[in-house]
Amino acid sequence: MKHMFFNDYSEGAHPRILQRLGATNLQQMTGYGEDEVSLEAQRLIQNAIGSPEAAVHFVSGGTQANLLCLASMLKPYESVIAPVTGHINVHEAGAVEATGHRIEAIPAPDGKLRPDGLEPLIERHADEHMTKPKVVFLSHSTEVGTIYSQEELEALSEFCQRHHLYLYLDGARLGSALTAPQADLTLAQIAKLTDMFYIGGTKNGALLGEAIVINNPALQSEFRRHIKQRGGLLAKGRAIGVQFLELFNDDLYFDLARHANRMAHQLAAGIQALGFGFLTPPASNQIFPILPDTLIKHLQVDYGFYIWEPQADGHSALRLVTSWATPEKAVDQFLVDLKELA
Amino acid sequence: MKHMFFNDYSEGAHPRILQRLGATNLQQMTGYGEDEVSLEAQRLIQNAIGSPEAAVHFVSGGTQANLLCLASMLKPYESVIAPVTGHINVHEAGAVEATGHRIEAIPAPDGKLRPDGLEPLIERHADEHMTKPKVVFLSHSTEVGTIYSQEELEALSEFCQRHHLYLYLDGARLGSALTAPQADLTLAQIAKLTDMFYIGGTKNGALLGEAIVINNPALQSEFRRHIKQRGGLLAKGRAIGVQFLELFNDDLYFDLARHANRMAHQLAAGIQALGFGFLTPPASNQIFPILPDTLIKHLQVDYGFYIWEPQADGHSALRLVTSWATPEKAVDQFLVDLKELA
Amino acid sequence: MKHMFFNDYSEGAHPRILQRLGATNLQQMTGYGEDEVSLEAQRLIQNAIGSPEAAVHFVSGGTQANLLCLASMLKPYESVIAPVTGHINVHEAGAVEATGHRIEAIPAPDGKLRPDGLEPLIERHADEHMTKPKVVFLSHSTEVGTIYSQEELEALSEFCQRHHLYLYLDGARLGSALTAPQADLTLAQIAKLTDMFYIGGTKNGALLGEAIVINNPALQSEFRRHIKQRGGLLAKGRAIGVQFLELFNDDLYFDLARHANRMAHQLAAGIQALGFGFLTPPASNQIFPILPDTLIKHLQVDYGFYIWEPQADGHSALRLVTSWATPEKAVDQFLVDLKELA
Amino acid sequence: MKHMFFNDYSEGAHPRILQRLGATNLQQMTGYGEDEVSLEAQRLIQNAIGSPEAAVHFVSGGTQANLLCLASMLKPYESVIAPVTGHINVHEAGAVEATGHRIEAIPAPDGKLRPDGLEPLIERHADEHMTKPKVVFLSHSTEVGTIYSQEELEALSEFCQRHHLYLYLDGARLGSALTAPQADLTLAQIAKLTDMFYIGGTKNGALLGEAIVINNPALQSEFRRHIKQRGGLLAKGRAIGVQFLELFNDDLYFDLARHANRMAHQLAAGIQALGFGFLTPPASNQIFPILPDTLIKHLQVDYGFYIWEPQADGHSALRLVTSWATPEKAVDQFLVDLKELA
């Protein structure tokens, strides 16, 4: 196989992260994430989001972050609103439900929630025989690669405040969303507009790890007990703290995401130049070109990728994912091969 | 501070583990633990336990392993039997209960369960207004440093089979338990005598990670869905697979544990030579000497450790923990300082 | 108000049930449903379904029956398939999710599930990052008043067996479904074709109470512990046992349902004669005529009913529900008044 | 068998309750407990406790009330403190744990909690690796028949307020506790001193049903959604409302309890006169005489009762329970027979 575009976690960690793990390896540190390295990483993130009062916690993965954060915000009868395509609604094996909560899903072909889609759901759920929605879940970038504009996130945030809902953002691919060419949202704005979110490390250069950020002070209390109870409090919390220390020490986190976006953009531009369209407009490091099934079969010989969704007339939408580790040569070669096959 | 004896997770990973992480870092691999490295690590563990049919899964921490494994074995009304001192019964913030299950606790001053303690509980719970115990939870070594003999584990296993109970072993400190001077239990015997157990990596040289081993074929099916649902399925599963590959590539796992035990043994022998007693007989890498409170205060200036339990007459039991990373010099110095203060 | 057609639980119990409660009132009986009256009621139901091996349990309400039964059949990662309109999917305030399980909903305009709707869902959920569907939930009659034919239920049952799914039937309105004019399904057939179902008492003449029937022997064991754990095991279990004893002593259960159907049929025929249509074809004791909103407003002065769903052109679908207690005079008067207003 | 002293739910309902059920039977009423009868019953209870702001809800049984109320007050990591003998800790089949919460049990030979038993538990649980206790659960009368004095409940209430704990009282046998000869606590005081409690109907003359009273305004909101979600919201809520209407219409509730206490008192006095002692001092409608095992065997020929606990020297403690329905003749006969056998 020439290259795998399956996802953005096919490689290990960015070399600088491994180096930093090595450099601090034999220092004795306090356990359970209360070590100096994790504390310093938390401070760097607080600075990056411009909010020294935010609480920052490190956990090992995205599903864990989602189930932890959502369950921490909910009373037993309260539910989460998510787009039908939302990761928690499809690909987390019922993780949110296993904490006792229902997800109320809203159709969203481009993966994005909007106030006019939420409004009727909220009204309907005034009925006390239904769950009471309390958290709005969105992902940025979304499962279909799209991103929210500042205006869109502000509208959602305003809607949530008006209806006493919490706004939660799944940032598994936040780096790519923030550094996309058309992005006009900053990390600091996200921290202002949401109650809680997480900054994805696993899919942007870390070996593993996500940084949960709690902006709403009312939601910060005893959060470590939530983490402990769900099995997320690592004895060697430093193992994740060190990685975020390196990622936010300078602009590494954003530089890695920018590279991923550049690679995706080159792929998208090349594919478009050959006359092919896309399921959703390319924006971040996941793109969804629509190609003939016969061509796809040939591509699969040398390249790894998922077939996302069958389309009309013997075509399908693929998912191509780039990352901090995607070599430019692999992108060039893919386009050369595609041109040849097309 | 001269040295911290707080626990066995104060340092990072054994250097060979970091090296192996680096060596495989940029290879593209399949996600979610289905990569070749994780598969090879699983095979090494199957060999080490002499059971090619066992299922092996890697997760990031011990509480996660416990809640996952226990919940996977239980129907809603079924419960877990554990010693009062058991980690799940005290220090996991209600993690097992959060999956919906009650723990029925049995007093066990030395941390160990025995059939004659289990028998009356089983009889009492024939009452259908009570939970139905289904899994027996034990840890090896226990929370108070003791270890099970082969005879003891066989007796428990036989009891469990007779009463249709599953036997689960928390092996957070399994390395130390298996290589303790008086140990007569092997990894292969543990695999034969239990339905499920986990091999602790975090407390024996890994950066993080535990290997769950499912011996009972009836419990193997769909276990990855359990892991996914509880937030334990890591996108870069390789990050843990690589570490167990190195630990079980040769005898590294056991060598590291032997060092920890040797250090604990030297500490215990030196303390005993000064005329002090212990809460439980020293056996593994956790020892619990009983010292005068005034002496303890002086020791705390230069050494880190937990005070475990107040005793009579102005004495307390400490917990001293050694690890693969404990320098012999630190042990020697501690004994010199203790002698001086005593 | 002249009459309320809101639902089939506006009155208390059929007088014969109150009489029987009185007749047995001062006899001392064993608690928790193990009294002779409850045992006799169980036998009558076993006879009525032609299955002496079925297990029968009495609980106080339908949501309780649903959450209890469904949770008893599921492993943590398993889910329930239900129509979008299903009661558990809309109007039980997240009761199933509160037991830790996700509902995978399928669009079904007429409230009925069919194999060709289930097939693609089952295929998609082979993905281990999704829940694994294990139970198919249907209600008979459905939330929109329709009923399954024998052929339809056989097809579902065959599909479930082929895919190792359990088939569960919510019989809140089973009496009406079985005695509807076009019904060709018997109670005995339902017991053969499903793994578990419940016979609704509350909506067919009982003061309160539902009879859970477990046909699949593998699902019978320890069910009383499930009931106890969910708070459904009544100390005076006799209070429900007595009612089912009376309902199944002769054909009372079916006679009451037949009356409800006859009243609904008269209503439907009268409404149709005036030229109005229906949301779904009238079949059981819930009918959904579509009337002009202005006419509805006038009707609401003297009659109670729910507006089910707005329709095009200033029309809405109402829900009119009849019961064992609906007086024929009330139906006649409603039709007279409707004619006058129309 | 001459008489069953097994429990206080061996008979049906007090005849006045059945009469009232009959008298209101055919009135059409609103469903789900929002009918006029239930509302009036709520007002009567608000009056009886001297607190018009209290929220009152009716559910069908005690385990349901307990799991509902406790889960409604807790965040995921919070736990319930209960005496080891507490009903929720022993005889509810893990109902509280099934809602995700741990019970932290405290030894209490007489079934009663006291601040000096709670204090060390609270201190220990400052450790964030443990659950955080949030509700104190007590029953009045207790499982071993004892009752709290006003002074004792005030001390507990004060302790709870100081430590930001909720105080919850299981009143399955509240009638008997309040009308016991040595009782100095009133219903109004209980409402002032607790955050939530329930008034037991099932064990004091109702056919079934308990009245949950929420005194703390912060805990009242959306409670009906909690009830619905746990399967406790009855379509014919009136069925329980009517019963409490009759029980609190005049002093019926207390009169019934007084009779039960008088019968228990006569039993206890007669047994004591024969020279036998008790496990706990007789106080309410459950007494626990200690008799020789040989004598017990003879008694079991004609009387039904549970053997509670073996004692030394071939003796055992029995449980004898009286109720509103216990005939004085049965008590007299029991004492005559006992005298003869002794």
Instruction: From D196, D160, D174, D194, select the one nearest D70 (Cα to Cα).
Output: D196
Tell me how close the Cα of C112 comes to any Cα of chain B, in angstroms: 29
Reported as type and span, the H/E element at residue B285 is none
d(CA C179, CA B42): 59
Predicted confidence (pLDDT) at residue A1 exceeds the cutoff of 90:
no
> A102 and A27 in one domain?
yes
> A93 and A182 in one domain?
yes
Selected for mutation to probe chain D from B90, B92, B97 (highest D CB count within 10 Å) is: B97
For position B176, what pLDDT does the model report?
Answer: 98
- Three-state DSSP class for residue A15: helix
Reported as type and span, the H/E element at residue A209 is none
Backbone angles phi, psi at C81, to 5 degrees: -95, 130
The 3 state secondary structure assigned to D231-272 is CCCCCCCHHHHHHHHHHCCCCHHHHHHHHHHHHHHHHHHHHH
Q: Using one digit for the tens of pLDDT, what is the confidence trace for B61-85?
A: 999 999 999 999 999 999 999 999 9
| Strand pairing report for A277-278 and A289-292 | antiparallel
Rg of chain C in Å (alpha carbons): 20
Give the N- to C-terminal CA distance of chain C in Å, as an integer. 19
Among the partner residues B77, B79, B93, nearest to D131 by beta-carbon distance: B93
B89 touches chain C (CB under 8 A): no
Q: Using one digit for the tens of pLDDT, what is the confidence trace for D151-189?
A: 999 999 999 999 999 999 999 999 999 999 999 999 999
Instruction: Answer yes or no: are the C-beta atoms of B91 and D129 closer than 8 Å.
Output: yes
Question: pLDDT truncated to tens, each residue of chain B (342 aa)?
Answer: 899 999 999 999 999 999 999 999 999 999 999 999 999 999 999 999 999 999 999 999 999 999 999 999 999 999 999 999 999 999 999 999 999 999 999 999 999 999 999 999 999 999 999 999 999 999 999 999 999 999 999 999 999 999 999 999 999 999 999 999 999 999 999 999 999 999 999 999 999 999 999 999 999 999 999 999 999 999 999 999 999 999 999 999 999 999 999 999 999 999 999 999 999 999 999 999 999 999 999 999 999 999 999 999 999 999 999 999 999 999 999 999 999 998
Among the partner residues B79, B93, B127, nearest to D94 by beta-carbon distance: B79
Helices D115-124 + D150-162 axis angle, to 10: 20
Residue window 226-265, chain D: list those with CB within 8 Å of chain A: 226, 228-229, 233
Selected for mutation to probe chain B from C129, C225, C230 (highest B CB count within 10 Å) is: C225
d(CA D271, CA D303): 15
d(CA B42, CA B45): 5
Chains that touch D (3 or more CB pairs under 8 A): A, B, C
Indicate which CATH number applies to the domain containing C177. Answer: 3.40.640.10
> A287 and A199 in one domain?
no
C341 touches chain D (CB under 8 A): no
> B243 and B141 in one domain?
yes
User: How confident is chain C (342 residues) per 10-residue block, as mean pLDDT?
Assistant: 95 97 96 97 98 97 98 98 97 98 96 97 97 98 98 98 98 98 97 98 98 98 98 98 98 98 98 97 98 97 96 97 98 97 90
Helices D252-273 + D238-247 axis angle, to 10: 70
Residue ending a domain, choose from A197, A231, A251: A251
Mean pLDDT in residue range A36-57: 97
> D126 and D22 in one domain?
yes
How many residues are listed for chain D in this entry? Answer: 342
CB burial class (10 A; 0-12, 13-18, 19+) of residue B73?
A: buried
Please answer yes or no on whether B63 and A236 come within 8 Å at the CB atom: no
Residue window 206-225, chain D: list those with CB within 8 Å of chain C: 207-208, 225
Among the partner residues C10, C92, C95, nearest to D31 by beta-carbon distance: C10
For position B1, what pLDDT does the model report?
Answer: 86
Q: Which residues from chain B sit within 8 angstroms of residue C77, using beta carbons?
A: 222, 225-226, 228-229
> A285 and A263 in one domain?
yes
Q: Using one digit for the tens of pLDDT, what is the confidence trace for D242-254?
A: 999 999 999 999 9
A76 touches chain D (CB under 8 A): yes
> D256 and D219 in one domain?
no
Which domain, by its residues, includes C327?
A: 3-9+252-341
Please answer yes or no on whether D28 and C4 come within 8 Å at the CB atom: yes
- Three-state DSSP class for residue A219: helix
Domains identified in chain B, total number: 2
> A167 and A141 in one domain?
yes
Tokens read off for D259:
């009779």
Instruction: From A101, A65, A329, select the one nearest A212 (Cα to Cα).
Output: A65
For position C1, what pLDDT does the model report?
Answer: 86
Question: Could you tell me how far CA D185 lies from the centroid of its own chain?
Answer: 15
A34 touches chain D (CB under 8 A): no
Mean pLDDT in residue range D95-118: 97
Mean pLDDT score of chain B = 97
d(CA D256, CA D326): 10
Indicate which CATH number applies to the domain containing D259. Answer: 3.90.1150.10
Among the partner residues C76, C128, C229, nearest to B77 by beta-carbon distance: C229
Residue ending a domain, choose from B236, B252, B268: B252
> D243 and D271 in one domain?
no
The residues facing D88 across adjacent strands are none
Mean pLDDT in residue range D264-274: 98
Tell me how close the Cα of C136 comes to any Cα of chain D, in angstroms: 20
Mean pLDDT in residue range A166-172: 98
- Chain C's closest residue to B132, CA to CA, is C225
A71 touches chain D (CB under 8 A): yes
Backbone angles phi, psi at B287, to 5 degrees: -125, 155
Confidence of residue A226 (pLDDT cuts 50, 70, 90): very high
For position D1, what pLDDT does the model report?
Answer: 86
pTM: 0.97
Please answer yes or no on whether A127 and C91 come within 8 Å at the CB atom: yes
Mean pLDDT score of chain A = 97
> A312 and A206 in one domain?
no
For position A89, what pLDDT does the model report?
Answer: 98
A162 touches chain C (CB under 8 A): no
Question: Which residues lie closer than 8 Å to B284 by C-beta, 6 or more apart?
Answer: B141, B145, B146, B147, B173, B176, B177, B180, B261, B264
| Strand pairing report for A196-200 and A210-214 | antiparallel
Q: Which residues from chain A sit within 8 angstroms of residue B233, using beta carbons?
A: 61, 63
Q: Using one digit for the tens of pLDDT, what is the confidence trace for C291-332?
A: 999 999 999 999 999 999 999 999 999 999 999 999 999 999
C7 touches chain D (CB under 8 A): yes
| Strand pairing report for C315-321 and C306-310 | antiparallel
- Chain A's closest residue to D234, CA to CA, is A129
The residues facing D198 across adjacent strands are D212
Residue ending a domain, choose from D193, D217, D247: D247
> A186 and A66 in one domain?
yes
> C155 and C86 in one domain?
yes
